[in-house]
Amino acid sequence: MGNIRSYFRCDVCDQITLVRAQYGWLDRHPIRYTCGHCNILIKGIAILDQENADFRIDIENASLVSPENEADFYIETSGELLTEKLQSFDFETHWYIPPPFFQGLWGMGDPTDPQSSYEKFDEFKQNVISFLYKTENDWPRTRRIKELWINENYEYLAQEIRKILPKKQFPMNNKLEHLRGVHFVTRFFLQDIIDYEHNELIFKEVKTIFEQNPANLIELSKYFQGHFRRYDKRILRVIEHFSEVFRFLIPAYGLTYYHEIPEKLFEEKGMTTAAFEDIKEFYIDTYELVAEILPIIVGYNNLKYRGDFIKMSDAKPRYEFEKLFEIPKGNKVEYVDGTEVFDCLIVKGAIDNKIRNAIGHNTYEFDGVRQLIIYDPVGKNKPSDIRSMYLVQFASKCLSIFQTVIHIWELLYQTEKNLYVSQGMRSVNPNVFNMSLLKQESIRKKEIRKKMKCEKKKKKMIKKQKRSNR
């Protein structure tokens, strides 16, 4: 991790900001900061050419000037980590302070185990690099496999799956096997940045329900049969959108590796990879999807606690189960309140109806200097209704709501699987599949690392050849 100090003059008010850019292991990353004087958004991209040890910032609304100029403001930038927010420049304070790398390293470490910080940071780094590599190289294939499944084009689906998965473990000879193959490919694409810890709970609870009430579980599966492909289409769009915005969210994703979150972290630290406008649409689109697919959670709760997937709780608003598909999304979200076991698939704090309403009705402001979202969920401009949230907190909600989508997607997978089993379809031995899963994940990670090294080596050879031809 290195640091480059650059002086940028605002094209509007001529105020100069000393930008202390930390370059790390990303080849490029977005930069967003607000001019401290006239409050315009200054945005650009940082580009790292590791082969030639070159780093530059291409920026709009500001111009690079000589370091002989005296700075008015100071800000840190990093594509990977949280940074200091914009401040008035003070030479004694800002000429040398610990860079974002050390701040992040200290945050990730367990105070009782100094080595843990390096281990956590390395895990964070490897997972980010691996997922970014997949978004560039594997996503087109993953998307087309999902599209073939959604469009029920099973001949070409089997052809595409067999290019990457062994036929013995994935014979692709019925719809159950098609479902398994698509699920495996999608899960592998996401595995570096998604937590699958709830899968065990899902499998355990569904298995228990099947043992106690198999008939009604099959009825639930049949009930949702007409919804599966529509849900798949929406989930596919959200996964693609997430792949596009992940670079904006990397510093917030890094927080998932922190040993603990300091009380004043969000007030004191910010992120320079995104402005609110960069990520707000992802949140609202994903919120709409979660609200649409929530009935599957309610159905499983009904089945577990009341023995019938359409029998609703008397302790909650008294809707008929069928009405859940018609009621306003805000009311639907309130029905899943954390009191029943399948509610835990909703990550705490992920579904925020108030910020969703404010975004939807455009009743918010973004203070780029403080990185503070000030919003009115009611829209009547009453002081008692006004709320606020820091940008890093909102970015964390984006990650949490995406994690929630994947939790529910796993529940939908188990539901559809049970439907096909009830129709007499058979799959390969689960033990063979589990062993294959672990092996495929290991092999695939090695292939990614090997391919990245080969690409770097190839670029170096091309550079060397160009120099020798001059």
Q: Quote the Cα angle for 253-60-355, to 5°.
A: 40
Walk along the chain (470 residues) and give the pLDDT tens digit of each residue: 678 899 999 999 999 999 999 888 898 999 999 999 999 999 999 998 766 667 889 999 999 999 887 899 999 999 999 999 999 999 888 877 777 888 888 888 888 887 888 899 999 999 999 999 999 999 999 999 999 999 999 999 999 999 999 988 899 999 999 999 999 999 999 999 998 888 899 999 999 999 999 999 999 999 999 999 999 999 999 999 999 999 999 999 999 999 889 889 999 999 999 999 999 999 999 999 999 999 999 999 999 999 999 999 888 777 889 999 988 888 888 889 899 999 999 999 999 999 999 999 999 999 999 999 999 999 888 999 999 999 999 999 999 999 999 999 999 999 999 999 999 998 876 665 555 455 555 666 666 666 666 666 665 665 555 555 55
The whole-number pLDDT of residue 182 equals: 97
| Residue 376: HSE in the Cβ half-sphere, 13 Å Cα cutoff | 13
| Residue 167: HSE in the Cβ half-sphere, 13 Å Cα cutoff | 6
The whole-number pLDDT of residue 1 equals: 65
The Cα–Cα gap between 245 and 11 comes to: 28
> Which of 304, 336, 310 has its CA nearest to residue 323?
310
The whole-number pLDDT of residue 48 equals: 83
pTM for the whole structure = 0.89
The whole-number pLDDT of residue 461 equals: 62
Provide CB contacts within 8 A for 244, sequence distance 6+. none
Provide CB contacts within 8 A for 119, sequence distance 6+. none
The whole-number pLDDT of residue 111 equals: 80
The whole-number pLDDT of residue 460 equals: 60
The whole-number pLDDT of residue 206 equals: 94
